[in-house]
Amino acid sequence: MRTIGVLTSGGDAPGMNAAIRAVVRGAISNDMRVYGVYDGYYGLLRGDLHEMDVKSVSDVLQRGGTFLRTARCMEMLTEEGVKQAIDKASLFDLDGLVVIGGDGSFRGALALSKQGLRTACVPATIDNDLAYTDWTIGYDTAVNTCVNAINLIRDTSASHGRITVIEVMGRACGDIALAAGVAGGAAYVFIPEVEPNLDVLMKRLDKGRARGKKHNIIIRAEGANIGTDELVNMIANHTQGEVRKVVLGYLQRGGTPTASDRIIASKMGFRAVEVLKGEGNARAIGMHGVEVFDMDLQEAMNMTRIVDTEEIRLMETLAI
């Protein structure tokens, strides 16, 4: 009987529990044994594995975060650490491991797959920064969290005729900022992939004020090439109006996953089991639209992201 493990790694994301549930129940329905690894690779290196049964994943589908917990594990960047992980995996007779996480977690899985532990990777990060897949688990929930926050902030901004700069997560990827900007009706979005153009912003604010628009929402991804405080000061100086800032921070990582995140998590978690049930190794599971697929992990990791300029143009056009 095949025995596999499942772990969550890197920043947590809403929907990870749905993916774990799909792996556990998918494995059991395929007559496989499945171990939950607690605290990501850190737990794997320390042998913190516990056999899962159907009940282990009851009542988790709707919970944010990951009940297996997660951790960032620098030891996995060393040969010694990888060897330790392989030794522990063989102690539990694992012949496959499902890794649920982001790009750093995928690097660890690739290293393990080269040392003989077959791996299948499920993309889970709110950043949506993995180029090979349309969606990563947690992204849709994070965008909805941001849009709900924008709705709340818009009320007070409008009441006071203020401009509010909202900082969202995304160190190197502006997908959350861009999607929240379009859905939330932002006047401008600053993202890491595009150099800031303050002239365009100020002209847009002036134009809006000229037609009586007294309040604005501006979104800034945390990795954009201009700081939030710097932006607030520059806008305040230019408009001579009241400007406020809100940093959404870790709010974006929590909350009950949306139906969409639960569905893609279930599809990709189950596909990972199917891959390991066969002879698959070092596979990346992904979504093209609503279709689940798997591909070579190294190839997936080599793909580079392109920013959605269409979405930028749409946001700018609608924000006049």
| Contact stretch for ligand F6P (CB under 6 A) within 63-71, 76-84, 168-176, 239-247 | 168-176
Count CB atoms within 10 A of the CB of residue 184.
22
Question: Which of 127, 140, 175, 261 is the catalytic position?
Answer: 127
- Tell me the closest approach of the beta carbon of residue 141 to ligand F6P, in angstroms: 12
| Residue 167 within binding range of ligand F6P, rule CB under 6 A | no
**Cα 190 from chain centroid (whole Å):** 19
Amino acid at 120: A
| Residue 14 within binding range of ligand F6P, rule CB under 6 A | no
Length of the chain counted residue by residue: 320
- Is residue 186 within 8 A of residue 217, CB to CB? The reply is yes
DSSP line for 191-223: -TTS---HHHHHHHHHHHHHTT---EEEEEETT
Which CB, 250 or 320, lies closer to ligand F6P?
250
What binding mask, one character per residue, do residues 120-159 give for ligand F6P by CB under 6 A, x or -?
-----xxx--------------------------------
| Residue 171 within binding range of ligand F6P, rule CB under 6 A | yes
Work out which of 14, 43, 64, 170 binds ligand F6P, going by CB under 6 A. 170
Q: Is 39 a catalytic residue?
A: no
| Residue 177 within binding range of ligand F6P, rule CB under 6 A | no
H or E element in which residue 116 lies: none
- Tell me the closest approach of the beta carbon of residue 184 to ligand F6P, in angstroms: 18
- Tell me the closest approach of the beta carbon of residue 202 to ligand F6P, in angstroms: 28
Burial of 46 (0-12, 13-18, 19+ CB in 10 A): middle
- Tell me the closest approach of the beta carbon of residue 188 to ligand F6P, in angstroms: 20
Which CB, 40 or 170, lies closer to ligand F6P?
170
- Is residue 261 within 8 A of residue 14, CB to CB? The reply is yes
| Cα gap 84→44, rounded to integer Å | 9
From 249, 17, 12, 216, select the one nearest 146 (Cα to Cα): 249
Which CB, 32 or 121, lies closer to ligand F6P?
121
Q: Which residues bind ligand F6P (CB under 6 A)?
A: 11, 102, 125-127, 169-171, 222, 253
**Active-site residue list:** 127
